[in-house]
């Protein structure tokens, strides 16, 4: 989608003079390296420019959309890892038995069903038909604007303000999209956990533990599981990163005013300041997650100390 | 051999799932408070015998006329019963401490765990017990070694830790599955000596699985020679040179000797009938 940042501002019908003026105002007539250094200087002072679409400083937009996505992705990864890891371990322990086959089907489904489709079906069943969960958005329309914005994490803000009704509404709204997202990433986590675990169960120290008189369950959790933690941290961190940047589809289906939606809609209209900032943030998130998982390695594996 | 055998195995056969041929066929022996060597080449089924006795191969097809351990019928023993036997009354020393110790747990904790699995006691008591046992396998600074991780100890030290872990609960039967194959020649004898002393001192029945004829000759009372899943010959260790079975004779002949003639060693001539005939 080739977009012209100048056209994005001035519109299709602008005269040549207007176009040229804006072109120069944006500094696009200057050499590439100079433009780049100007950009770096601005970024260093936290000036990310203004978004054309919203007319607000990009940073201010981000402060609103990113927490919404972090909230969603965090719940999703808690669900995904909380379901995926135990299922993966179970599948490894019961390799080739019916439990393993069942888990394989479950995770294959999670992997293959498109998330926008499960999102719509989920809304149809759990919201429209059963009424167990809230519909789209972060909370009921009724509560919007009721809670003072401090962190922009709705659950935290509402708890801080002591608005428990809003908190409950927010929780009600996040459950469905988060568990659907979590389900799709649990598919991957389950498969990886299974293969990590199978690897460990073939090791000699597992036999040692059995010889000592430990049951299979004790052997798996006390000995083998500790040895897959490092690998699990890596894949869960990567899955979390993917959720933070790529929850566009579910955000669209659930009208969740998040980062993915913000990035995508700005990309489509060529809102360059916003897009570049978003890309930068995605990079920072991945680096931060990698540093975090490196730190966790040191805790989990004595050989890296 | 003393009166009652610790272990009495008759006609043990075992087939791994998916395998065409059984790995062990009709193995019989009894073990008293003695040291029994099981010798054979790779794939002869000697390690499988050890694991079958401990019932560590639940997926394999196992049958036997008799398999008794100190009055317990192992063939009928449930997994719950086996959990009480394993590590308490029977244990096994594995080959390579580099792989047989859990890399992310402190050595001492792994030793203490063997005790705590079977004896209800405080952490402190298990710790003290483990330290004492580490001292018994001649580790000089047991308190320090207790806190080391497996990658921080040498092979010889690792194997002594393994021995400490497996003898801590005073078992009656210890199966040593190639306990020194992974060690340097220089520490091999030292580790064997420690194992041997403890086994004698505590009156443990030891099954030493090995492919090293000389080692078995020096450290065992009796020797079973296995070939293709069968016991082809049983001998007193000191009579090893008087072996009659052509396979055993072939193995002995294929050993190099210091000061012997510098002619090429004879190659073992295999006879298909060895896999058919019943043990002599």
The pLDDT tens digits of the residues spanning B210-226 come to 988 888 888 999 999 99
The verdict on a CB contact (< 8 Å) between A214 and B92 is no
**Which pLDDT tens digit goes with each residue over B57-89?**
988 999 999 999 998 999 999 999 999 999 999
For residue B165, the chain A residue with the least C-alpha distance is: A212
Report the DSSP beta bridge partners of residue B209: B38, B177
**Is the confidence at residue B279, as pLDDT, over 70?**
no
What is the mean pLDDT of the segment spanning A15-31? 88
Centroid of chain to Cα A292: 16
Residues 6+ apart with CB under 8 A from B266: B250, B253, B254
Rounded CA gap, B65 and A196, in Å?
A: 39
What is the mean pLDDT of the segment spanning B225-247? 87
Task: Kindly report the three-state secondary structure assignment for every residue of chain A.
Answer: CCCCHHHHHHCCCCCHHHHHHHHHHCCCCCCHHHHHHHHHHHHHCCCCCECCCCCCEHHHHHHHHHHHHHHHHHHHHHHHHHHHHHHHHHHHHCCCCHHHHHHHHHHHHHHHCCHHHHHHHHHHHHHHHCCCCCCCCCCCHHHCCCCCCCCCCHHHHHHHCCCHHHHHHHHHHHHHHHHHHHHHHHHHHHHHHHHHHHHHHCCHHHHHHHHCCCCHHHHHHHHHHHHHHHHHHHHHHHHHHHHHHCCHHHHHHCCCCCHHHHHHHHHHHCCHHHHHHHHHHHHHHHHHHHHHHHHHHHHHCHHHC
Question: Model confidence at B1, in pLDDT bands (50, 70, 90)?
Answer: very low
Rounded CA gap, B107 and B110, in Å?
A: 5
Give the tokens for residue A275.
């897009």
The verdict on a CB contact (< 8 Å) between B165 and A300 is no
B53, B89, B104, B175, best to mutate vs chain A, most A CBs in 10 Å: B104
Out of B84, B87, B149, closest to residue A211 by CB: B87
Concatenated DSSP letters of chain B: --SS-SEEEEEEEEE-TT-SS-SEEEEEEEE-SSEEEEE--TTSSHHHHHHHHTT--TTSEEE-SEEEETTEETTT--HHHHHHHBTTTEEEE-S-HHHHS-TTS-HHHHHHHHHHHHS---HHHHHHHHHHHHHHTT-S-HHHHHT--GGGS-HHHHHHHHHHHHHTT--SEEEEESTTTTS-HHHHHHHHHHHHHHHHHHT-EEEEEES-HHHHHHH-SEEEEEETTEEEEEEEGGGGGG--SHHHHHHHHTS--TTS--SPPPPP---GGGGTSPP-
**Is the confidence at residue A202, as pLDDT, over 80?**
yes
Pick from B237, B235, B254, B255: nearest CA to B245:
B235
Q: Determine how β-strand B72-73 pairs with β-strand B66-69.
A: antiparallel
The verdict on a CB contact (< 8 Å) between B117 and A212 is yes
At residue B43, the pLDDT reads 83
A114 burial type by CB count under 10 A (0-12 exposed, 13-18 middle, 19+ buried): exposed
The verdict on a CB contact (< 8 Å) between B92 and A213 is no
What is the mean pLDDT of the segment spanning A232-245? 91
Centroid of chain to Cα B65: 22
**Which pLDDT tens digit goes with each residue over A258-279?**
998 899 888 888 888 899 999 9
Tokens 């409950």, located at residue:
A168
Q: Are B255 and B213 spatial neighbours (Cβ–Cβ below 8 Å)?
A: yes
Q: What are phi and psi of A50, to 5 degrees?
A: -115, 145
At residue B278, the pLDDT reads 52
Q: Are A116 and A249 spatial neighbours (Cβ–Cβ below 8 Å)?
A: yes
The verdict on a CB contact (< 8 Å) between B56 and A215 is no
Contacts of A213 in chain B (CB under 8 A): 83-88, 114, 117-118
A212, A221, A224, best to mutate vs chain B, most B CBs in 10 Å: A212
Out of B105, B114, B149, closest to residue A212 by CB: B114
For residue B99, the chain A residue with the least C-alpha distance is: A204
Contacts of A223 in chain B (CB under 8 A): 102, 105
**Is the confidence at residue B31, as pLDDT, over 70?**
yes
Is pLDDT larger for residue B254 or for residue A109?
A109
A200, A201, A213, A232, best to mutate vs chain B, most B CBs in 10 Å: A213
Rounded CA gap, B216 and B39, in Å?
A: 8
**Is the confidence at residue B3, as pLDDT, over 80?**
no
Rounded CA gap, A23 and A30, in Å?
A: 10
The verdict on a CB contact (< 8 Å) between B96 and A204 is yes
| Widest distance between CA atoms in chain B | 63
The sign of the CA dihedral B185, B187, B189, B192 is negative
Number of neighbours of residue B107 by Cβ within 10 angstroms: 27
Tokens 């100190």, located at residue:
B70
Contacts of B84 in chain A (CB under 8 A): 213
Give the number of A-B residue pairs with CB atoms closer than 8 Å. Answer: 73
**Which pLDDT tens digit goes with each residue over A136-157?**
888 887 777 778 888 888 888 8
At residue A52, the pLDDT reads 83
Q: Are B34 and B7 spatial neighbours (Cβ–Cβ below 8 Å)?
A: no
User: Is A13 at the interface with chain B, CB within 8 A?
Assistant: no
Report the DSSP beta bridge partners of residue A50: A57
**Is the confidence at residue B262, as pLDDT, over 80?**
no
Give the tokens for residue A181.
């997202």
Indicate the average pLDDT of chain B: 89
Provide the whole-model pTM. Answer: 0.85
Tokens 């420019």, located at residue:
A49
Give the tokens for residue A23.
């072109």
Angle of the A58-93 helix axis to the A164-201 helix axis, nearest 10: 40
Out of B91, B92, B104, closest to residue A226 by CB: B104
At residue B182, the pLDDT reads 84
The verdict on a CB contact (< 8 Å) between B56 and A207 is yes
Angle of the A225-245 helix axis to the A259-269 helix axis, nearest 10: 40
At residue A239, the pLDDT reads 93
User: Is B103 at the interface with chain A, CB within 8 A?
Assistant: yes
User: Is B254 at the interface with chain A, CB within 8 A?
Assistant: no
For residue B96, the chain A residue with the least C-alpha distance is: A204
Rounded CA gap, B131 and A165, in Å?
A: 58
Contacts of B99 in chain A (CB under 8 A): 203-205
């Amino acid at each position: 989608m080739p977009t012209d940042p100048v056209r994005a501002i001035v519109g299709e019908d602008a005269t040549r003079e207007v176009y040229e003026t804006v072109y120069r105002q944006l500094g696009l007539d200057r050499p590439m390296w100079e433009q780049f250094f100007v950009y770096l200087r601005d970024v260093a002072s936290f000036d990310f420019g203004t978004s054309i679409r919203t007319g607000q400083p990009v940073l201010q937009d981000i402060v609103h959309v990113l927490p919404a996505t972090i909230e969603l992705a965090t719940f999703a990864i808690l669900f995904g890892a909380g379901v995926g890891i135990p299922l993966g371990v179970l599948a490894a322990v019961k390799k080739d038995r019916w439990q393993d086959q069942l888990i394989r089907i479950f995770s294959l489904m999670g992997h293959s069903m498109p998330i926008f489709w499960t999102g719509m079906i989920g809304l149809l069943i759990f919201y429209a038909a059963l009424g167990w969960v809230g519909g789209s958005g972060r909370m009921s329309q009724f509560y919007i604007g009721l809670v003072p914005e401090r962190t922009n994490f709705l659950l935290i803000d509402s708890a801080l303000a002591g608005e428990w009704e809003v908190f409950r509404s927010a929780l009600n709204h996040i459950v469905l999209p988060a568990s659907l997202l979590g389900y799709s990433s649990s598919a991957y986590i389950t498969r990886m956990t299974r293969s990590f675990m199978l690897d460990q169960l073939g090791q000699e120290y597992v036999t040692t533990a059995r010889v000592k008189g430990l049951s299979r369950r004790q052997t798996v959790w006390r000995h083998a599981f500790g040895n897959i933690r490092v690998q699990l941290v890596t894949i869960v961190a990567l899955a979390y990163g993917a959720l933070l940047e790529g929850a566009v589809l579910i955000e669209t289906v659930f009208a969740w005013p998040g980062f993915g939606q913000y990035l995508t809609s700005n990309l489509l209209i060529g809102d360059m300041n916003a897009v570049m900032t978003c890309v930068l943030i995605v990079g920072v998130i991945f680096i931060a997650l990698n540093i975090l998982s490196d730190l966790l390695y040191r805790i989990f594996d004595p050989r890296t100390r | 051999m003393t009166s009652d055998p610790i272990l009495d195995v008759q006609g043990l056969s075992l087939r791994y799932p998916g395998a065409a041929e059984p790995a062990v066929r009709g193995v019989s022996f009894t073990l008293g408070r003695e040291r029994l060597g099981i010798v054979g080449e790779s794939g002869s089924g000697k390690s499988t015998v050890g694991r079958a006795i401990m019932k560590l191969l639940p997926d394999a097809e196992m049958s036997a006329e008799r398999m008794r351990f100190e009055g317990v019928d192992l063939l009928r023993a449930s997994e719950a019963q086996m959990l009480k036997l394993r590590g308490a009354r029977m244990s096994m020393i594995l080959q390579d401490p580099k792989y047989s110790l859990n890399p992310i747990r402190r050595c001492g904790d792994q030793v203490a765990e063997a005790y705590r699995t079977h004896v209800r006691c405080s952490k402190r008591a298990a710790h003290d017990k483990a330290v004492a046992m580490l001292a018994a396998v001649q580790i000089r600074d047991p308190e320090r070694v207790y806190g080391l991780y497996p990658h921080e100890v040498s092979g010889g030290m690792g194997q002594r830790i393994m021995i400490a872990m497996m003898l801590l609960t005073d078992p009656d039967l210890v199966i040593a599955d190639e306990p020194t194959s992974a060690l340097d020649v220089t520490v091999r004898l030292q580790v064997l000596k420690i194992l041997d002393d403890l086994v004698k001192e505590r009156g443990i029945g030891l099954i030493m699985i090995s492919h090293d004829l000389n080692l078995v000759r020096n450290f065992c009372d009796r020797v079973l020679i296995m070939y293709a899943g069968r016991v082809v010959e049983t001998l007193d260790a000191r009579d090893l040179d008087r072996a009659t079975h052509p396979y055993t004779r072939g193995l002995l002949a294929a050993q190099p000797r210091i000061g012997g003639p510098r002619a090429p060693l004879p190659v073992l001539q295999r006879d298909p009938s060895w896999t058919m005939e019943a043990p002599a």
